[in-house]
Chain A
């Protein structure tokens, strides 16, 4: 009896505290939006549309990386620090494959490049998948019952190993990535803003991959096994689900998307560096937390929102502060709304 009263009081107090925090959060968001709106009005609609287009393209890439974080976190509750570097690896492998398939900047834009591009896409994704499954097998599975700190440390270690391998492979420089996608742009009405073919391509590829993933998780047997394992690993095991295989499949699928993201990044920005995955991974993790970690739709939405914030910040404020803004958002989201915007799991403890 006494404990139920105490419980109720605790719930009431946390409720009012939560409401206060949410209030502060909305005031902060409101202020940011007002400042932004004045700048948007000052610089005209064409510029704004351009920024939004860039934001969508950036956001699609972040969404692809964020999906891997959120799936892995959902199933084994581990922040896979190596995931950002798997993303970079996708870029590196495809960069190596492009000349192998006889593609270069000069052959760009014809319909003939589509088939080899798809082949490179698939090979890079598979390589990333295999690498990520190997990482899981070697570095995370033996520690599944160890204290939580242990797999986190090996995850950071694996991230450094991957960066080290790519560093040895291609050196510390920014590498040029051949611009195979056409650079032509379609004018958008009379506003003066344009949308490039590669913007469209990036967003389309991301949408196709993400739709495929969400159909897979919702419809297929393996997807069902993943959801069951994420909910309760032991109960899923008792139902006859091979847990190790399911977890490995999750790592594999997450890495497929990250590998695709790495290649798209290269094609879109035309450069890549060995340590790209560190900051991109951190931003994508922010996106995953923003959308509610463990939630697939949330990660996709979070990626888009973070991409948009990055683009708006680059366009209307100072690009030197963009990363600061994004990481500040990460901290603020965790403080004010740790479940994210669509989050269903409550990460408390």
Chain B
């Protein structure tokens, strides 16, 4: 049994003819197409809720794909990724709702969703450049702490500038995306006609937009990875000095990776704002940044299918599995004859409460154990696995020299 598993692992991880990525892409595509059908059929037409959940998960998939450019491709640690997400969402909120009426500007701007997506993208990328340009000249790990600080500043600024952003209440009633024209027909239960300015309001509509956005982003990022710039990222990640010696402008390359990551985050933020129709500073805290980092690290840094699977998995754990756990735990406790665990008692909050508190511990353990036991992630990037596991770039240590000279 163990040997079978070992043989499968060998094929999965090293056999060059059996790259898992096409298989994973195929599965993801099939699931993405079949999911809404399954959701409607299994609930007898009441599946909007399920479809909406996966559309929300798609926001995290987008974020993880973007963070993967920064962490996985360029090897920079961005701990304030949610800040750009917030910037994208608030950009959408400002220029696609009535909100500017209650700010000192007293006007209102309603740009269409499709344009705001790209405005949010450029605004977030601009902030990325402003933040990255000075810090990327310094050591790599300074970026981690600067982004962490930035990630703390941005939600606080949105919270404190209540004259402009309504503070903790956030901005609500954002515009829904609309299509300039759409062909109606029997498939949507209407007579055949061309309608103008169709408002997208149904979960299925958002789901379709989400799938299209994620799909095009995957294609774009894959092209980026194979391009000259993409190869420069890997070179900088693996050995900055050698990359610079080969003529790579390391600061520019790192800045570009950082800005592209920020752009994805802003893009996802705009979609998030449109989907939820509400933005509030509470939704963009440090825990969001960490959630996305966990997704990328667990899925496989540098490998896009890995990151997609990792993000869906972590989304499922944090937003579906953990909230559903307390009743389950209480049920198990009573069926095992441990019903005394259910009630709160002194410091013990009751087993239902206690399992809800597990999130921090689970995230921490995933990060630590993945880096220690399987740094290449669940579905590894072949190139990255070589670097992370086999230690081809390990420094020659004194122990090595001793070992060599001893014989």
Contact = CB atoms under 8 A, between A and B. Distances in A.
Interface of A: 77-79, 138-139, 142-143, 145-154, 156-165, 167-168, 170-172, 234, 237-238, 278-279, 282, 285-286, 289, 318, 320-321, 323-324, 327-328, 330-331, 334-335, 338, 347-349
Given A153-B297, A154-B372, A165-B361, A279 B152 contact: yes
B131 A331 contact: yes
Contact of B142 (A153, A234, A324, A334): A334
A145 to B, nearest CB: 5
A281 to B, nearest CB: 10
Contacts of B71: 149
Contact of B138 (A150, A156, A348): A348
Given A164-B361, A331-B134, 19 more contacts: A139-B371, A145-B394, A147-B387, A150-B375, A158-B364, A161-B368, A164-B358, A164-B362, A168-B354, A238-B398, A282-B152, A324-B157, A331-B135, A331-B146, A334-B142, A338-B138, A338-B142, A348-B137, A348-B138
B79 A164 contact: no
Given A78-B141, A154-B372, A324-B160, A146 B391 contact: yes
Interface residues of B, number: 60
A150 B148 contact: no
Contact of B357 (A77, A152, A162, A167): A167
B365 A157 contact: yes
A226 B366 CA distance: 32
A282 B135 contact: no
A286 B359 CA distance: 28
B206 to A, nearest CB: 31
Contact of B364 (A159, A318, A320): A159
A154 to B, nearest CB: 5
B300 to A, nearest CB: 13
B156 interface: yes
B139 interface: yes
6 contacts: A149-B71, A160-B290, A161-B361, A164-B357, A279-B152, A349-B240
Contacts, number: 163
Contact of A150 (B293, B362, B388): B388
Contact of A79 (B144, B159, B160, B398): B144
Interface in B284-298: 286, 290, 293, 297
| Chain B interface, >50% SS class | helix
B141 A148 contact: yes
A320 B387 CA distance: 45
B398 A237 contact: yes
Contact of A330 (B145, B237, B367): B145
Given A161-B368, A321-B160, A156 B79 contact: yes
B150 interface: yes
B140 interface: yes
Contact of B134 (A79, A161, A318, A335): A335
Given A78-B141, A154-B368, A348-B137, A167 B375 contact: no
Interface in B333-381: 347, 349, 353-354, 357-368, 371-372, 375
B361 A168 contact: yes
A324 B152 CA distance: 8
Given A160-B360, A349-B139, A154 B152 contact: no
B405 to A, nearest CB: 13
A309 to B, nearest CB: 14
Given A157-B365, A164-B364, A234-B397, A330 B388 contact: no
Given A79-B144, A149-B77, A348-B138, A327 B153 contact: yes
A123 to B, nearest CB: 20
B146 A330 contact: yes
Interface in B130-188: 131, 134-135, 137-142, 144-146, 148-150, 152-153, 156-157, 159-160
* Residue of B152, B238, B371 with highest tally of chain A CB at under 10 A: B371
